[in-house]
Structure 1
Amino acid sequence: MKKLNRRHFLMSTGAAVTATGLGAPSILRAQADTIKIGGLHDLSGPLDASGIPMDQVFKLAIDDINEKGGLLGKQVEGVVYDPQSNMSLYSQYATQMALKDRVAAVFGGITSASRETIRPIFHRYNTLYFYNTLYEGGVCDRNEITLGTTPAQTVEQLIPHAMNLWGKKVYTIAADYNYGHITAAWVKRYVEANGGEVVETEFFPLDVTQFGSTISKIQAAKPDIVLSVLVGTAHLGFYRQWVASGMKQEIPIASTTFAAGGTDAVILTPEEGNGILTSYGYYTSIDNPTNTAFKEKVAAAYPDNPPILSELSEVTWEGVMVWADAVREAGTIERDPLLEVMETGKSYDMPAGAVSIDPKTHHAIRDVYLAELQDQEFIIKETFPQVQPADTQMVCNLKETPDANVHHEISL
């Protein structure tokens, strides 16, 4: 598994641009001894708790393909970089992957900021890109396959369920970047559509760790529900301080992000985490043979440091497997034939359930689940089969505009 640093990038990218020009000719990709694919996940920095499991599963997927004979008579090679949650490094490494490494596809990015840093680069150089993270919806780009869930798939299920359980007054706390702002707007829309009221929305930078003043505001507002759209390890401070304040028994929490990367559920104690309600496209407690085999494979590959499995890591597995299936069927690693295979709407049997690619948006149509955390395990309460990415379908139709290259901030 190839892992390169920033110094190597700075020494090599200029030569790559000079030698190959801007187009990164696809025939050079085809002449390689191995088929290279890129992994671009945060292995250090504030989001490494999510990025490391994604990277582990990315590597496991490559090993699984190679153990079964590889693709097109070749082994698959992973080219891995650590962007450290730094947007400059994301941009640099994305360019390196496209121009020098000439990877056949890239799997990576966690935040929407990182995605919007690298997505236009891969679009420009026709490097097929898989984004495997839940997000706020709205990307319209034929070069990107988006397998993570969107608000119309999860938040639309979470809000009415929580309101039916607990009441109609909601206090939203959210991360202060585009995912947090846009998702908070979706929360408001779904709360009001179900006859409720968002009494306050507060936003927090990713490095904020102290929430005492906010907890006081929530106490004064007396909502029925706290709706968390917080992101990252620093924001776990809220849940701990919520318990310490004595408020956990008075006002329950639902979240669009808690344990999305998996680690939150085991970092917090049962006292701190029990009762938090979430909705995602994958939980380890999904009961089907494919998920059982997947969990066994992960445990066998990482006996000493098993990754915490979550939507982010499982969907990373999906991305590599969908790409590999398209390579087998198309008989090539060239982008357009692979996209044509995926655009047929074929269904893939994944640990999360049946998954297909919506040809209009290149987003996943997938099963979605509601689950409550109890003793560091999510207990599935409800299943919603084959939910469409309806939010992105409002603004994107790649059949009509195949050259689209935009992230719509959907007007609510």
Structure 2
Amino acid sequence: MKRRDFLKGVAATGVLGATGFPGIWTKSGNAWASNNEIPVGVLFSLTGPVAVVESTLQNACLMAIEEINAEGGIHGRMLKPVIEDPASDPATFADRIRRQVLRDNCVSVFGAYTSASRQAVLPVVEQHDNLFWYPTLYEGRECSRNVMYGGAVPNQQQQDFVPWLKENFGGRFYLIGNNYVYPREENNVCKMILDDIGGEAVHEEYVPMGHSDFGSVINRIRDMKPDVIFCTLVGDSDVAFQRQMHAAGFDPETMPVASLTRSEIEVKAMGGAAAAGHFSSAPYFMGHESAANHRFVEAYLNRFGQDEVTHFVNEAAYFQVYQFKAAVEQLAPSDITPLNIRDAAVGLRMLAPQGEIEIDPNLHTYLWPKIARWQADGQAEVVQQSARRMAPDPYWAYEDQMCTAEGLVRT
């Protein structure tokens, strides 16, 4: 079956639905599918400091699985979600995905939010030639052939954002993030851009995951008077920081917090009033006007509650399940393996809630960069949007390296 664009298969019960055909396939020594089921791993934290975000990724992933099963599954087989809670701990991520791959025979695993967790599962999926679908924005500088990257990389968030912030507010940036690989690498990219455009990082600091007392940070910000607070805090830390900034009376008109990680879910937790006037850069916001997004939001709220929100990471957690489905449908039943699914996925286009997306040969995703200002009602007003989808370049800030279909290339 030839690879095809996947633009028009919008089913009544799913934003990205389509039908399959019956078939049976096995892996030597293990059944990839049996009893009319295809086991897929679902590996998102339901406890711990990033559960506030990861639980909503699981919601979106399971919603897509339910929609696909309601339409007859894939090749006549139902998707069987094998759910584990890695509890926001990278070591537990590695242990649980090993179970899903070896014990449960999952043909792919969907999961994770932090880069630390992604890096923890990477050796497992590479050793066992499985496929990990990672929906989250991340820092780039990775080129695994066993990971499907659905989230934004630095060029898709910072290339337009940092110059826009300097132009509108000034070039003195205060960098604050959690102490792990993602914030440190994103801040390195931010500093490179600032150097190129005549800005500067006046201060840079990191706090542990789950950190919640930002009194000393706020005092330093008050003393240093930066133009922009560039924030790569995640989960509970971001919520606590913004609440305390708001309580301290900082004016977003003169000193905005500019975040790469803050979405509707964090804003809901901190309160719209605390976030109002500050900015985020992301490929998707809940208020995006499109028929596909209206269907996605309506289905999500009907499934999980009218007071819930969609955001740019759970949108990717949703569309990646449909990318998996579309890739499997390109293969003859006897050819279904994790790596064949990977190869079939390259070049697939589909209409996601944010717009038409495509999987690049480097296994990252073409996305639609947007800059938005948060409103008191918890929603985001887009103030600038890319006129076209942007190609993913995970080594964009490093001219001597690039990620290709063959892997990392050094020039």
DSSP 3-state at the match of 1:72: coil
Candidates 251, 255, 265, aligned match of 1:251? 255
2:294 and 2:248 mapped to 1: Cα distance?
Answer: 39
- Percent of counterpart pairs with the same letter? 26
Q: TM-score, structure 1 length as denominator?
A: 0.87
2:230 and 2:86 mapped to 1: Cα distance?
Answer: 30
Deviations 1:261-311 (A, max 9, x none): x3221122333111111111111111111111111111222246x642111
Q: Give, in angstroms, the shift of residue 84 of structure 1.
A: 0.5
1:41 and 1:118 mapped to 2: Cα distance?
Answer: 12
Q: Does 1:57 align with 2:60?
A: yes
2:238 and 2:304 mapped to 1: Cα distance?
Answer: 28
Q: Give, in angstroms, the shift of residue 27 of structure 1.
A: 5.1
2:359 aligns with 357
1:367 aligns with 368
1:178 and 1:298 mapped to 2: Cα distance?
Answer: 31
2:405 aligns with 399
1:399 and 1:257 mapped to 2: Cα distance?
Answer: 28
DSSP 3-state at the match of 1:152: helix
2:166 and 2:141 mapped to 1: Cα distance?
Answer: 26
DSSP 3-state at the match of 1:235: helix
Q: CA RMSD in A?
A: 1.9
Q: Give, in angstroms, the shift of residue 225 of structure 1.
A: 1.1
Deviations 1:62-114 (A, max 9, x none): 11101111111111110100010122321111110111100111000111111
Which stretch shifts more, 243-252 or 174-183? Answer: 243-252
1:378 aligns with 380
DSSP 3-state at the match of 1:29: coil
Q: Give, in angstroms, the shift of residue 323 of structure 1.
A: 0.4
2:339 and 2:215 mapped to 1: Cα distance?
Answer: 52
The runs of 5 or more residues in structure 1 that have no matched partner are: 1-23
Whether contact under 8 Å (1:207, 1:234) holds in the other structure is yes
Alignment of 1:250-289 (within 5 A): 250-259=254-263, 262-289=264-291
Alignment of 1:267-346 (within 5 A): 267-303=269-305, 307-332=308-333, 333-343=336-346, 345-346=347-348
- Which amino acid in 1 is paired with 2:288? I
1:28 aligns with 31
DSSP 3-state at the match of 1:153: helix
2:183 and 2:48 mapped to 1: Cα distance?
Answer: 19
DSSP 3-state at the match of 1:186: helix
DSSP 3-state at the match of 2:83: strand
Query: Aligned pairs, how many?
Result: 376
2:47 aligns with 44
- Which amino acid in 2 is paired with 1:252? P
Q: Give, in angstroms, the shift of residue 353 of structure 1.
A: 0.9
1:282 and 1:323 mapped to 2: Cα distance?
Answer: 20
Alignment of 1:10-21 (within 5 A): none
Q: 1:244 to 1:120 in 2, by over 3 A?
A: same
1:276 and 1:217 mapped to 2: Cα distance?
Answer: 19
DSSP 3-state at the match of 1:42: coil
The runs of 5 or more residues in structure 2 that have no matched partner are: 1-26
Deviations 1:164-208 (A, max 9, x none): 111111111111111111111111112222221111111111132
DSSP 3-state at the match of 2:47: coil
Q: 1:399 to 1:246 in 2, by over 3 A?
A: closer
DSSP 3-state at the match of 2:369: strand
Q: TM-score, structure 2 length as denominator?
A: 0.87
DSSP 3-state at the match of 1:226: strand
Q: 1:121 to 1:286 in 2, by over 3 A?
A: same
Q: Give, in angstroms, the shift of residue 213 of structure 1.
A: 1.4
Deviations 1:219-244 (A, max 9, x none): 22121111111112133222122122
1:11 aligns with none
Alignment of 1:138-177 (within 5 A): 138-177=141-180
Deviations 1:117-153 (A, max 9, x none): 1121011111111111011012211111101001111
Deviations 1:350-401 (A, max 9, x none): 0011111110x21011111111101211011111121122233653444334
Q: Does 1:347 align with 2:353?
A: no
